[in-house]
Amino acid sequence: MSLICSISNEVPEHPCISPKSGAIFERRLIEKYLVENECDPINGQPLTADELVDVKTPPIVRPKPPSATSIPATLKTMQDEWDALMLHSFTQRQQLQTARQELSHALYQHDAACRVIARLNKEVTAAREALATLKPQTGISAIQVAPQPSIASEAAGVATQPVEQAGMSAEVIQILQDKATVLTQERKKKGRTVPEELVSQEKLRGFLTLASHPGLHSASVPGILALDINHSDQSKILTGGNDKNATVFNKDTEQIVAVLKGHTKKVTKVIFHPEEDTVITASPDACMRVWHVPTSQTQLLLRCHEGPVTGLSLHPTGDYVLSTSSDKHWAFSDIRSGRLLTKVADTAEFGLTTAQFHPDGLIFGTGTEDSQVKIWDLKEQSNVANFAGHTGPITAISFSENGYYLATAADDACVKLWDLRKLKNFKTIQLDDGYEVKDLCFDQSGTYLAIAGTDIRVYLCKQWQELKVFNDHTALATGVRFGKHAQYIASTSMDRTLKLYGVE
């Protein structure tokens, strides 16, 4: 009967047997193995060299190598190397088996952890929604609005709406004119000087993602559709979501300040009043709501349209709001009294898609479903200019603070810049094929232009040079806004996150 070493699979010169596993080993190989592992290589039980039992067999007589340069010496060297290779191979096979077992266990633990995290996220979202629902019941009384003949109010969930137009009185027109005069003078005083606090091009190029907040809206109906920043308190950010709610969020404390519930459909447009703790929202449910943030209650319910509200813009006075709708009308309403001052039908047979006031407040722009950008005179309630050139519905428009430039976008993967003095297109920013633009925004100095859509892009005005691209969102970006002096940038997306960019 021949003896075979369990490590080298060869006949051993000095065979020995392990009392732990009963296996045969070459003594020199098992001793080398025990120095490193101190266990039986077959079953892993603790084993020392003293416990090995020698097996008595007739000795194998080998010739003594005459010298290190002889063939036998070379063969001996090769034998030693072979033994070392066998020992290493055996060790590697054992380590591979151990690694496979550890990897399987780690994968199981990871899967279990993911399930637990998903369950906890769902519970946190449900708790936040429950907290928002209970907040108005904690003893805070709702704002009382004095009743007026044509005010929009709520009673048992049913809205009473102003059905007739109050008209643009001489008093209202004078207020608009006075405000425009003041704003024009202020802009002339500023001239072309750039605020010292404005972030430089170099710093903006170095902007990084500072924070990402996914918990502002319900996870069951994902997507944030609208964004605005409070100009008087830059820490407060307003978002509108697919979950029919608007949320006021404090970026400094990373806490939700208020959840505004009341719309029966998704919230697609939001405005933060620049001087008051007031929010205005619009929705495809054909309603606009004016909210008092501290109480999370609706102050006014404005129902000026017969179709989804598609555009919303606050007049520089802070007292009036412009709205557009797919019902082919734009409306101008008083947010103090709830009166509908005027409602004008577009002569085209296409719905309106967006709206924004010029910085002076005497003219405004609207976008249409048939690719037209129209400029209107508010006092005369007339269409004074049309810009053609896009293809597809207009998705976003934005006036520069200097009052000279208008940026527009549609479903044609480009952004067009218009000179309001010459009434012509002087620049087209061509984007990648298939690029979708959902929002445009100039910063408050008119130095930078931000684009939100397939990604977030920032351009330097006048040169119209691309400064920065942010690709952090995992879905379509729906909103972008600059903080004061462009110290930070905020963006929202269909991936349910609010992201903040700046310098660390």
Residue 227: pLDDT band with limits 50, 70, 90: very high
Residue range 279-298: mean pLDDT, rounded: 93
Q: Which of 59-63, 177-181, 492-496 has the lowest mean pLDDT?
A: 59-63
Q: Which residue has better confidence, 162 or 110? A: 110
Residue 125: pLDDT band with limits 50, 70, 90: confident
Tokens found for residue 81: 């190397």
Question: What span, in angstroms and rounded, lies between the C-alpha atoms of 283 and 385?
Answer: 28
Question: What span, in angstroms and rounded, lies between the C-alpha atoms of 377 and 363?
Answer: 5
Cα-trace Rg, the chain:
37
Question: pTM (2 decimals)?
Answer: 0.68
User: In Å, how far are 139, 356, 372, 436 from 350, measured between CA atoms?
Assistant: 47, 18, 10, 21
Residue ranges of domains in the chain, CATH in brackets:
1-60 (3.30.40.10), 183-190+197-502 (2.130.10.10)
Residue 426 has pLDDT above 50, yes or no: yes
**Residue 379 contacts residue 168 (beta carbons within 8 Å):** yes
Residue 253 has pLDDT above 60, yes or no: yes
Residue range 232-245: mean pLDDT, rounded: 91
Question: What span, in angstroms and rounded, lies between the C-alpha atoms of 345 and 347?
Answer: 6
Q: Which residue has better confidence, 144 or 45? A: 45
Q: Report pLDDT for 309.
A: 94
Residue range 25-49: mean pLDDT, rounded: 91
Question: What span, in angstroms and rounded, lies between the C-alpha atoms of 33 and 49?
Answer: 10
pLDDT digits over 326-372, tens only? 999 999 999 988 889 999 988 877 899 999 999 988 999 999 999 89
Nearest to 328 by CA among 341, 316, 311: 311
Residue 137 has pLDDT above 90, yes or no: no
Give SS3 for 6: coil
Tokens found for residue 130: 């429950």
Question: What span, in angstroms and rounded, lies between the C-alpha atoms of 474 and 470?
Answer: 11
Q: Report pLDDT for 263.
A: 93
Question: What span, in angstroms and rounded, lies between the C-alpha atoms of 211 and 205?
Answer: 17
Residue range 196-211: mean pLDDT, rounded: 90
Q: Report pLDDT for 311.
A: 94
pLDDT digits over 364-417, tens only? 999 999 989 999 999 888 999 999 889 989 999 999 988 889 999 999 899 999
Question: What span, in angstroms and rounded, lies between the C-alpha atoms of 347 and 342?
Answer: 16
Residue 425 has pLDDT above 50, yes or no: yes
- Percent of the chain residues past pLDDT 70, beyond the cut: 90
Q: Report pLDDT for 418.
A: 93
Computed over every residue of the chain, the mean pLDDT equals 86
Question: The tokens 């920043």 sit on which residue?
Answer: 229
Q: Which residues of 228-267 are buried (b: 16+ CB within 10 A; e: fewer)?
A: bbbeeebebbbbbbbbbbbbbbebeeeebbbbbbbbeebb
Q: Report pLDDT for 144.
A: 38
Nearest to 326 by CA among 280, 378, 269: 269
